[in-house]
Amino acid sequence: MNGATGVDVARAGLVNGSGTVLVTGASGLLGRAVAGDLAAAGWDVRAFQRRPSGVVGATDALGSLTDPDAVAAAVAGVDAVVHLAAKVSLAGEPADFERVNVDGTARLLEAAGAAGAARFVHVSSPSVAHAGTSIVGDGTGPADPTHARGEYARTKALGELLALAADDPAMRVVVVRPHLVWGPGDTQLVERIVERARAGRLPLLGHGQALIDSTYVDNAASAIVAALDRAPAVHGNAYVVTNGEPRTVAELLAGICRAAGVRPPAWSVPPSVARFAGGLVERAWAVRPGADEPPMTRFLAEQLSTAHWFDQRRTQHDLQWVPAVTLDEGLDRLAASYRTGAGPTVA
């Protein structure tokens, strides 16, 4: 990373909405929300992803993190970067995760530093510090690629460590780890829950009594914007972001299903059976991958049967941020989106 100069330090004092910000992964649910919030706050938003973002007020710069020329062009002249793009999947070749989540992040960090970006918000995941045991009111633990569960978590942990290592006075880096982000238009978590519930293929593990945090999309987006704004004061740190309203898996799944007008899951499977089945599915997927995500993996079984909720006091204090939308309000908005036909399209 370049050494700090008087100009670098001055640029690091940018106020929100005073320059050009690059948002990677702006075609996804959270990326679109972040880019839209930044545009509304007065930033000149450049959206970098492989297909048009559809964000009003943003200029698309199409390309991939695996393409050095596209990355260099995307960061040219930017004052800040918000990095959300990642390979997110429960299965896949390790090399594919490495190319995007590790090599792509390293390439973007180097290019952003060379371009003179003063701030960099790296969007990570709480899974980078999850070793399979319960998380009960914990803070933000260190990213641990050695013990992370699955290739996504492992490579996101490596990418986060690269981001934090790049923090210096010339480019202030903050890491934000939103947990289980959902909301209207979500074709990942919400759509898969609803689709499987409708088909009768959504069990509860251990009766769904594990207590977990989740984050409504608008809250996750506003926390990321707050991290960008607060980067000069909180750089070098990582923050888990949630709604701060832990609920049981059964309650959360039921709320999402009812919002979509489908019956909540009513049958259960012992967690040990689900983990065993997940291991079998993973081995079968490695030989003959399916068209969609695998129905169960060992990581997914752990996530659905193990408590994971977080102390939000440090996050809210340091980022000077609080979630504006409660889970119940978010579920009402999700239900309204289904009533108006704006919810995810489920076959």
At 187, the pLDDT band (50, 70, 90 cuts) reads confident
At 288, the pLDDT band (50, 70, 90 cuts) reads low
Token representation of residue 128: 């980078």
- Mean pLDDT along residues 247-266: 91
pLDDT above 60 for 346? no
Q: Which residue has 């409660």 as its token pair?
A: 326
> Can you tell me the distance from the alpha carbon of 58 to that of 275, in angstroms, rounded to the nearest whole number?
43
Report angle CA 256, 216, 316 to the nearest 5 degrees.
Answer: 145
At 272, the pLDDT band (50, 70, 90 cuts) reads low
> Most confidently modeled of 49-58, 169-178, 293-302?
169-178
What was the pLDDT predicted at 134?
73
**Percent of the chain clearing pLDDT 70 (strictly above):** 82
pLDDT above 60 for 6? no
**Percent of the chain clearing pLDDT 90 (strictly above):** 52
At 1, the pLDDT band (50, 70, 90 cuts) reads very low
Looking from the CA of 220 toward its CB, the CA atoms found within 13 Å total: 28
- Mean pLDDT along residues 186-207: 84
Instruction: Characterize 37-57 residue by residue with b for buried, 16 or more Cβ atoms within 10 angstroms of its Cβ, and e for exposed.
Output: bbbeeebbbbbbbeeebebee
pLDDT above 70 for 7? no
At 294, the pLDDT band (50, 70, 90 cuts) reads low
pLDDT above 60 for 326? yes
At 295, the pLDDT band (50, 70, 90 cuts) reads low
> Can you tell me the distance from the alpha carbon of 333 to that of 184, in angstroms, rounded to the nearest whole number?
7
Report angle CA 244, 299, 178 to the nearest 5 degrees.
Answer: 30
Strand extents, DSSP E, 132-283: 135-138, 172-178, 181-182, 204-205, 211-212, 215-216, 238-241, 247-248, 268-269
The catalytic position among 152, 216, 239, 338 is 152
DSSP state of 102: I
At 188, the pLDDT band (50, 70, 90 cuts) reads confident
- Reported pTM: 0.88
What was the pLDDT predicted at 24?
95
pLDDT above 80 for 303? no
Residue 271: CB partners within 8 Å, gap ≥ 6?
A: 205, 206, 301, 304, 305
At 343, the pLDDT band (50, 70, 90 cuts) reads low
**What does each C-alpha distance from 267 to 152, 277, 333, 341 come to in angstroms?**
29, 16, 27, 29
For residue range 90-149, list pLDDT tens digits in order. 667 888 889 999 999 999 999 999 999 999 999 999 988 876 677 777 878 888 889 888
Go through the domains of the chain in sequence order and give each one's CATH number. 6-179+215-244+309-325 (3.40.50.720)
Token representation of residue 8: 């670098």
What was the pLDDT predicted at 170?
94
Query: Any idea which of 171-185, 234-248, 270-284 has the lowest mean pLDDT?
Result: 270-284
> Can you tell me the distance from the alpha carbon of 297 to that of 53, in angstroms, rounded to the nearest whole number?
31
At 347, the pLDDT band (50, 70, 90 cuts) reads very low
Q: Determine whether 338 is an active site residue.
A: no
- Mean pLDDT along residues 42-48: 93
What was the pLDDT predicted at 193?
86
Q: Which residue has 């640029």 as its token pair?
A: 11
